[in-house]
Structure 1
């Protein structure tokens, strides 16, 4: 799907819808009320380098396990993302080359006959055990049981009791998400064993480096999603790499937003506000949100980097006519309460923070990391809501153009009028949803390319449009004067 931005001196080659948003002609769209979040995680179990959909806390535990040993972040990050209520949550597990599957080999006397390998790499598999004993219900048959701790995972009964029979049953079991079986040598009948422990499993978390996260960008580029969160406080080099990547893919039409944060130590430091502001200034981009405060749920503290997963879910889960400003969060407190002056600096310096108003924890203001607007931008580019609206109109109009106009409608006056009419109808729907102002919006042929004396002349297969739209916003500052008689 070709698309992205364009320049009059460097027009794109591929067919597609190319849009520039200038401050005088900001556009908005109702692009669907929910979005998809991807969180990069580390785990002690689960598929590696695959996008796995997570729909509940139960799914986190069953697919990735719920522990945080060995630096695993899957449970905490995905749990926080779910609290934000995105339409869809995808997990992508990273692991280094030390990641290994646990296994156990069952024997007949002293000869190996059946090998059981954990389905995924990670230390969780080291908690599996297998037993081979006569069946409780029929002593003429053999039963192989799989346990995790004291919890029975699966049970298989065989009349012959051979390794081949057990392997066939295990591998054909659609509900078996734990082990893969293979016959060793000529096979045979496994001897009875009360407890055969799996071992050798390694998670591959400790050796992950920036290059592993950078390598994941290629996979991310091929996946459809809206918001991305990292699972840890990345250093400046990795943040800059992701910033450059986000800028590139956005310029090519993949309009994603990345959410990042800092370490727990930075969050509670006396210099927390300055550190977070410095991070935003270094990023300074409307497609990246920088979280500055850690949060607390019960007795558990989460760093601002971990909290970025919640913010990602929140951004994706909101309708376009909603804002994250003053959104009530499901937290009990923040790990450090910023002063009034620090909060003011956060708003000015592109830092997304949470505050405790004495009753609830709320998001302060829905800002991204853009501190200094670039050419053709104004302060609207600093708002998460404004960027989501602009991204949505770009994405939806590009899709509509591809489905109904590009390569299908003749580039005549009638064809261009039909395209403009469809765009106006689309904006009317946005206005009815209060995403844009109801009066004053318009779609016209760009005067720079059409009219009696155009500055530039379009090619026969090119159409240049101009949107004139005023974005709506929520009330964020109320001013009143109180008169006492």
Structure 2
């Protein structure tokens, strides 16, 4: 005797999620091909093609630096040199699996806005969970990281300075190389000697405006805070959606639960109460895997969504006025299953208040 297949599938998804959270994939859209668009998969610096321009090579190399680990891999699409046209690259990325993306190092403001719109549409319409790092793009969305720091000094003899657009691949690689247990807040960028300086007040204002900034603490350059561009909080979408770490875990859970249910449950079981319980038990096992790896807090719940079930029954003419909660749970809901999951995603330690009495 073995566990039902759906339980095994969700446990496997949980283990895969933990493994996947250790490092991610970056996609870069570049230009410079005089022929047809070219695609490369890069795992380390030795995979960078010789035929690329020096700027493109450097852009890829910066993405490979990562944070605690380098990204798992870099997907590179090199398109035509024509500006204001990334359509081919975006169409290619729509068929790929990746975590973070960045446009070319000379991306224009118009192009950045077009990429932001595409990413938001992919999220809203296709449940996509990838994010874009874009320069000076106040998108007010959890899937767009608004990189705004300029004058990033490489510390070489020429004091080469990179602007926000040229640094986007570095930030995409840094976030992708951040394990999901921690955040990229205060992640150091040891290759930089300096960057555009901000006062504490200016830094606070930038972060409040959803800007991803680098700061110099007097000794080194580091990330100010691991936030995205989302600032306009609403009921049901609060400040947690501003944190890169929390959104990444949230999206991962959503995708894993949806995909595993589609592959292993939908169409494969009669819609009885027992089989609804089987699905809930399987999801509970998935969440336990995440809890064991310190991604979520203890105390999650998985249960029948009474409100939506009751509303559905009313919509098909069932008199629910005298039905108990248990009767609602066990009611025949045709081909529909309504489940409610409550879970707290663990944030990283980012603020410490120490009171010392001497």
TM over 0.5: yes
Partner of 1:447: 306
Question: 1:83: Cα distance to partner?
Answer: 0.7
User: What is the alpha-carbon distance in structure 1 between the residues aligned to residue 231 and residue 314 of structure 2?
Assistant: 34
1:306-358 deviations in whole A, cap 9, x for unaligned? 21101111222222112111112232323311221111112101111111222
User: What is the alpha-carbon distance in structure 2 between the residues aligned to residue 235 and residue 367 of structure 1?
Assistant: 23
User: What is the alpha-carbon distance in structure 1 between the residues aligned to residue 333 and residue 162 of structure 2?
Assistant: 55
- 2:149 aligned residue (280, 293, 304): 293
Pair 407,309 (structure 1): closer, same or farther in 2 beyond 3 Å? same
TM superposition score normalised by structure 1: 0.62
1:481 corresponds to 2:341: no
User: What is the alpha-carbon distance in structure 1 between the residues aligned to residue 165 and residue 249 of structure 2?
Assistant: 25
User: Secondary structure at the residue paired with 2:176?
Assistant: helix
User: What is the alpha-carbon distance in structure 2 between the residues aligned to residue 431 and residue 223 of structure 1?
Assistant: 29
User: What is the alpha-carbon distance in structure 2 between the residues aligned to residue 390 and residue 310 of structure 1?
Assistant: 24
1:448 and 1:454 in contact (8 A); partners too: no
2:25 and 2:73 in contact (8 A); partners too: yes
Partner of 2:321: none
1:48-79 deviations in whole A, cap 9, x for unaligned? 423310122232243x34x43xxxx3212101
Pair 340,433 (structure 1): closer, same or farther in 2 beyond 3 Å? same
Question: 1:455: Cα distance to partner?
Answer: 5.9
Partner of 1:116: none
1:350-408 deviations in whole A, cap 9, x for unaligned? 11111122222211100001121244200000010111011100111122112211221
1:258 corresponds to 2:132: yes
Higher helix share: 2
User: Secondary structure at the residue paired with 1:366?
Assistant: coil
1:24-70 deviations in whole A, cap 9, x for unaligned? xxxxx74532221110113478x8423310122232243x34x43xx
Partner of 1:77: 59
1:56 and 1:82 in contact (8 A); partners too: yes
User: What is the alpha-carbon distance in structure 2 between the residues aligned to residue 338 and residue 327 of structure 1?
Assistant: 17
1:93 corresponds to 2:78: yes
User: What is the alpha-carbon distance in structure 2 between the residues aligned to residue 451 and residue 239 of structure 1?
Assistant: 45
Pair 50,407 (structure 1): closer, same or farther in 2 beyond 3 Å? farther
Higher strand share: 1
Listed as ranges, the gaps of 5+ residues in structure 2 are 1-16, 317-331
Partner of 2:38: 50
Listed as ranges, the gaps of 5+ residues in structure 1 are 1-28, 96-204, 262-275
User: Secondary structure at the residue paired with 1:450?
Assistant: helix
- 2:118 aligned residue (236, 245, 262): 245
User: What is the alpha-carbon distance in structure 1 between the residues aligned to residue 102 and residue 311 of structure 2?
Assistant: 50
Partner of 1:365: 225
Partner of 2:96: 223
Question: 1:218: Cα distance to partner?
Answer: 1.5
CA RMSD, Structure 1 to Structure 2 (Å): 2.3
Report the structure number with the largest CA radius of gyration.
Answer: 1
1:35 and 1:86 in contact (8 A); partners too: yes
Counterparts of 1:168-247 in structure 2 under 5 Å? 205=81, 208-210=82-84, 212-247=85-120
Partner of 2:320: none
2:198 and 2:215 in contact (8 A); partners too: yes
Pair 247,332 (structure 1): closer, same or farther in 2 beyond 3 Å? closer
Partner of 1:464: 338
Pair 82,483 (structure 1): closer, same or farther in 2 beyond 3 Å? same
1:83 and 1:330 in contact (8 A); partners too: no
Partner of 2:209: 349
Pair 422,456 (structure 1): closer, same or farther in 2 beyond 3 Å? farther
User: Secondary structure at the residue paired with 1:89?
Assistant: strand
User: What is the alpha-carbon distance in structure 2 between the residues aligned to residue 230 and residue 452 of structure 1?
Assistant: 45
Partner of 1:162: none
